[in-house]
Amino acid sequence: MEEAVEELLRGDMAAFQRIVDATSARFVRLGARMLGSVADAEDVVQEAYVKAYRSLVNGQFDRRSKIETWLYRIVVNTAIDAKRKKVPTPTEDDTLVNLGWDGRASAEARLALKELSDWLGELPEDQRTALLLKTVEGLSSAEIAEIMDCTEGAVEQRLVRARATLRKRRSQR
């Protein structure tokens, strides 16, 4: 992916499409989990790519981090901004419960997934973001710290608090 950045900077505009193709599915998945709506996530990811493209061609990417980490940060910040601007109203067909399910999943599994989604939605934004980046995206604490612009210790603290809150909710169930 770093070579695609080099090609883009040399004037190959098609190189950005390779970056989009390599990352869009995971960014939409992350955005959907953060926002509760696939449609909202697609909008956020599109906006994030526009910001990233402009920054790249204007020479604002300083290369202190990997391109993927930098893009994650843009997507996360854009999703947080979008969430602050409006309250998402997912439709029945657009809720997290339906992500990746083929319609034959049991009612019990769907209910459990919906409940987990609700619990994640109740976490503070920084805890939910850290938890999603760690458990869903599989990023290291160092990568998450770079994305969230904080220390690794702060990431670990957010993860501990998020997990404790989820355990407490589970025990109340």
pLDDT exceeds cutoff 90 at 14: no
Question: Which two three-digit tokens encode residue 70?
Answer: 């930098």
Average pLDDT over residues 95-108: 51
Q: Which residue has the tokens 């906006």?
A: 47
What DSSP state is assigned to residue 135? I
> Under CATH, to which class is 2-172 assigned?
mainly alpha
| Each residue's pLDDT tens digit, 70-81 | 999 999 999 988
- Whole-model pTM: value is 0.67
Could you tell me which residues come within 8 angstroms of residue 16 by beta carbon, excluding any fewer than 6 positions away? 4, 8, 53, 56
Q: Where are the domains of the chain?
A: 2-172
Query: Angle at CA 134, nearest 5°, toward 23 and 127?
Result: 115
pLDDT reported for residue 6: 79
